[in-house]
């Protein structure tokens, strides 16, 4: 409804004036987020950026969008998510006070800085007096409000979710006796799209199973979920988390990145490896403290075409950190020998040879971690990745005692992963790997089929064709009467059809969820199980990325005065803002590398700290909750197949 503005004319007559209708800028088409818009508006065709196809254009994007939906549906889904996120960001940024408060949370700025006279004067100048700077209390209240709003938004998104995976991990600062745990949940929605949502962060009095369980139940209750609806945990092998999953009788998938990192750490205990690792770390610590030498090294290396980062100290928790530091040391070694101030870091030829061989052996493990730490990974990819790494380390370019040691450590660690029931079944329901004998033996695929029965909650249905009345007792009428018997649709029927499809015409889609989205009606018993199992990612790396930001709060001594509630809200809003920034461009890499400056700052901070890192308990084969024992009916067959 248009309001009328009346102005009093000089003759005191009322003149109605209609204000101009505000024009809203038309949002850009989803098409041009992926395709290159032709400079000629009369162009008749446009070439697809993902395939060689030429698509009819003629000034309209209808055909292009249809091509995306039919040929590149995954890309189309990503583009839609990006458009929705862009719209939501515009709405959020309309409230300047909330954006300002978020900057205090993400920038680690004390609330009282908002009352700084120079800062308030600066805001007044740049805004021409239109903005009134809120005080510290209002900033704090806004952060609390946004944390609550975040929980309400998550509650709406998960109100119909009944089966989900919990991703959780903890951070412990022994020096300050501070523990907190983060909660993400993963589930597959009705469109067979997986969502991984950051829920909340909570401090806990101590890092035992009871305290962690209480915190997780509280965080779930805040968004309307119950731990009894959780079907799996994706965590590292810490004893409290293992006990928590076991006590609640919930399956647990060992974070694959942490699993491969444990193999690397076991291998790093070899004395010869320890010596060359210490040499590289000593060099990294020197560069962290001598920035001029680091700058010269980097400049000279770049002139020689070397683009790898210079070696810098890495935290002990960094996955595959030893591989990165050795690889970067070797990349810059030729430049190192040219600088007079770095002569003491020159190694013997046999040490360089050992370092090169170590990098070769560790590379497959590092590549596996890089692949599985992505949020788009699936638990179904863990066993195929293990097999790929095994093939790599079993056939090194040079067979040595060291390569034999790596194979021994790898084989001893991987046994428990092949006993994980959820990993076996997930792999079976991933069309890329199902029934592939290069990944699992025949008896293992049969074992996975048997385990699927434990996940089947669908009622068996029967349907009977219309009865036929035979005219006489002839052979033809006997055949007709046989066709009228009941046909049972159950899990076994689905598995038979699924196995036949995998053997005759295996689909080429890159995502298992895309396969099940288009085949859920063809396999009505397998599809709900696939929806449950494929909700679990291959790792809990999303939790680790949360800690890489949130630990910054704990380095600030002044945060000691913050209450638990305030700290929870600060951490929640900080992670919420990061998630929004990351999702705003779906084509950004998941890689979460830390800059050289941040690494240097961390290394200096760590040396000055008296904190003792807590040992991560190793996973043992005695964990009954994580093993998949072979049923009696499979024991004989498994023994025969070796």
pLDDT for the residue numbered 83: 66
Query: What is the pLDDT confidence band of residue 221, given thresholds at 50, 70 and 90?
Result: very high
Domain 142-255+539-583 has what CATH class? alpha beta
Give the start-to-end residue ranges of the domains of the chain.
32-85, 142-255+539-583, 259-418, 420-458+489-537
DSSP state of 37: P
Q: State which of 104-108, 360-364, 589-593, 605-609 shows the largest mean pLDDT.
A: 360-364
Helical segments of 429-525, H only: 442-452, 475-482, 491-504, 512-519
pLDDT for the residue numbered 323: 94
- Helices and strands (H and E) in the chain: how many: 25, 11
pLDDT in tens, 415-441: 999 999 999 999 999 999 999 999 999
Percent of the chain with pLDDT over 70: 74
Phi, psi of 451 (to 5 degrees): -70, -25
**Which residues in 352-496 belong to E strands, given as ranges?**
461-463, 487-489
pLDDT for the residue numbered 98: 83
Strand partners, 15: 7
Return the minimum-mean-pLDDT range out of 187-201, 229-243, 459-473: 459-473
pLDDT for the residue numbered 477: 62
Name the residue with higher pLDDT: 410 or 73.
410
DSSP state of 560: G
- Name the residue with tokens 């024992």: 629
Name the residue with higher pLDDT: 407 or 483.
407
Q: Look at residue 620 and tell me whether its pLDDT is greater than 50.
A: no
Integer Cα distance of 536 and 375 in angstroms: 10
pLDDT for the residue numbered 482: 52
pLDDT for the residue numbered 633: 35
Q: Look at residue 627 and tell me whether its pLDDT is greater than 70.
A: no
pLDDT for the residue numbered 53: 76
Q: Look at residue 476 and tell me whether its pLDDT is greater than 50.
A: yes
pLDDT in tens, 159-184: 999 899 999 988 776 666 677 888 99
pLDDT in tens, 245-283: 999 999 999 999 999 999 999 999 999 999 999 999 999
pLDDT for the residue numbered 113: 87
pLDDT for the residue numbered 88: 46
Residues 210-218, mean pLDDT to the nearest whole number: 93
Q: Look at residue 451 and tell me whether its pLDDT is greater than 70.
A: yes
Rounded alpha-carbon distances, angstroms, from residue 631 to 214, 236, 469, 637: 35, 27, 46, 11
Residues 332-350, mean pLDDT to the nearest whole number: 94
Rounded alpha-carbon distances, angstroms, from residue 607 to 98, 135, 341, 453, 610: 37, 37, 23, 53, 8
Find the helix packing angle between 596-608 and 271-289, rounded to 10°: 100
Mean pLDDT value across the chain: 79
Q: 32 with 44: CB under 8 angstroms?
A: no
Name the residue with higher pLDDT: 523 or 631.
523
- Name the residue with tokens 């965590």: 235
Query: What is the pLDDT confidence band of residue 551, given thresholds at 50, 70 and 90?
Result: low
Q: Are strands 164-173 and 178-188 parallel, antiparallel or unpaired?
A: antiparallel
Query: What is the pLDDT confidence band of residue 623, given thresholds at 50, 70 and 90?
Result: very low
pLDDT in tens, 398-411: 788 999 999 999 99
Q: DSSP string spanning 399-415?
A: --HHHHHHHHHHHHHHH
Residue 514, sorted as left (phi over 0), alpha (psi -120 to 50) or beta, turns out to be: alpha
Q: Look at residue 11 and tell me whether its pLDDT is greater than 70.
A: no
pLDDT for the residue numbered 624: 37
Q: 184 with 543: CB under 8 angstroms?
A: yes
* 71: Cα within 13 Å, side-chain hemisphere: 14
pLDDT for the residue numbered 605: 31
- Nearest one of 99, 100, 130 to 113, comparing CA atoms: 100
* 159: Cα within 13 Å, side-chain hemisphere: 6
Task: Provide the token pair at 463.
Answer: 């349907």
Rounded alpha-carbon distances, angstroms, from residue 77 to 65, 71, 158, 352, 609: 11, 12, 19, 48, 46
pLDDT for the residue numbered 359: 95
pLDDT for the residue numbered 6: 41
Residues 323-327, mean pLDDT to the nearest whole number: 94
pLDDT for the residue numbered 460: 52
Tell me the Cα Rg of the chain: 30
**First vs last Cα of the chain: how many Å apart?**
80
Q: Are strands 194-204 and 178-188 parallel, antiparallel or unpaired?
A: antiparallel
Integer Cα distance of 369 and 375 in angstroms: 12
DSSP state of 31: G
pLDDT for the residue numbered 459: 56
Query: What is the pLDDT confidence band of residue 26, given thresholds at 50, 70 and 90?
Result: low
SS (H, E, C) 319-350: CCHHHHHHHHHHHCHHHHCCCHHHHHHCCCHH
pLDDT for the residue numbered 55: 81
- Residue 269, number of CB atoms within 10 A of its CB: 10
Task: Provide the token pair at 174.
Answer: 């022994």
């Amino acid at each position: 409804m248009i309001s009328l503005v009346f102005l009093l004319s000089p003759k005191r007559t009322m003149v109605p004036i209609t204000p101009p209708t505000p024009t809203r800028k038309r949002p850009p088409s989803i098409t041009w987020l992926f395709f290159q818009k032709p400079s000629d508006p009369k162009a008749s065709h446009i070439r697809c950026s993902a395939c060689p196809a030429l698509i009819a254009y003629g000034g309209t994007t209808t055909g292009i969008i249809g091509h995306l939906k039919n040929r590149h549906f995954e890309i189309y889904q990503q583009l839609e998510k990006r458009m929705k996120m862009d719209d939501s960001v515009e709405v959020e940024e309309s409230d300047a006070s909330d954006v300002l408060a978020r900057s205090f949370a993400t920038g680690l700025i004390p609330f009282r800085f908002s009352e700084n006279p120079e800062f308030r004067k600066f805001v007044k100048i740049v805004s021409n007096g239109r903005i009134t700077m809120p005080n510290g209390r209002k900033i704090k209240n806004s952060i609390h409000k946004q944390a609550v709003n975040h929980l309400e938004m998550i509650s709406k998104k998960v109100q119909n979710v009944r089966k989900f995976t919990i991703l959780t991990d903890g951070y412990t600062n022994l020096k300050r006796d501070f523990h907190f745990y983060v909660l993400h949940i993963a589930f597959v929605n009705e469109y067979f799209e997986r969502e991984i949502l950051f829920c909340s962060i909570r401090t806990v009095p101590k890092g035992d199973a009871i305290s962690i369980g209480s915190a997780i139940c509280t965080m779930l209750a805040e968004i309307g979920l119950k731990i009894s609806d959780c079907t799996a945990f994706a965590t590292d092998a810490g004893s409290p988390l293992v006990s928590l999953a076991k006590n609640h009788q919930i399956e647990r998938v060992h974070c694959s990145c942490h699993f491969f990192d444990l193999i690397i750490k076991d291998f790093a205990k070899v004395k010869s490896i320890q010596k060359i690792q210490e040499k590289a770390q000593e060099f990294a610590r020197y560069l962290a403290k001598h920035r001029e030498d680091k700058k010269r090294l980097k400049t000279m290396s770049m002139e020689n075409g070397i683009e790898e980062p210079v070696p810098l100290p890495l935290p002990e928790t960094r996955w595959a950190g030893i591989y990165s530091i050795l690889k970067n040391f070797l990349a810059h070694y030729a430049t190192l020998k040219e600088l007079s101030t770095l002569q003491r870091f020159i190694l013997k030829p046999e040490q360089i040879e050992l370092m090169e061989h170590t990098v070769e052996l560790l590379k497959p493990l590092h590549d596996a971690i890089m692949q599985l730490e992505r949020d788009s990974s699936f638990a179904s990819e863990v066993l195929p990745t293990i097999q790929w790494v095994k093939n790599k380390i079993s056939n090194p370019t040079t067979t040595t005692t060291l390569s034999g040691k790596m194979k021994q450590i790898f084989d001893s660690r991987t046994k428990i992963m092949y006993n994980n029931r959820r990993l076996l079944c997930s792999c079976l329901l991933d069309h890329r790997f199902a029934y592939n004998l290069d990944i699992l033996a025949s008896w293992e695929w049969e074992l996975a089929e048997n385990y699927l029965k434990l996940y089947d909650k669908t009622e068996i249905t029967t349907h009977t064709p219309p009865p036929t009345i035979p005219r006489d007792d002839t052979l033809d009428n006997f055949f007709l009467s046989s066709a009228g018997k009941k046909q049972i649709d159950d899990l076994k029927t689905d598995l038979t059809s699924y196995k036949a499809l995998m053997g005759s015409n295996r689909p080429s889609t890159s995502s298992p969820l895309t396969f099940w989205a288009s085949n859920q009606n063809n396999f009505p018993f397998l599809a709900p199980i696939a929806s449950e199992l494929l909700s679990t990612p291959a790792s809990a790396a999303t939790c680790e990325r949360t800690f890489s930001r949130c630990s910054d709060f704990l380095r600030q001594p002044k945060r000691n005065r913050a209450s638990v509630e305030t700290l929870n809200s600060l951490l929640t809003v900080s992670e919420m803002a990061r998630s929004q920034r990351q999702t705003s461009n779906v084509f950004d890499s998941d890689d979460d590398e830390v800059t050289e400056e941040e690494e240097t700052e961390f290394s200096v901070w760590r040396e000055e700290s008296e904190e003792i890192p807590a040992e991560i308990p190793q996973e043992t084969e005695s964990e009954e909750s994580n093993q998949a024992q072979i049923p009696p009916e499979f024991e004989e067959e498994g023994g025969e197949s070796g």
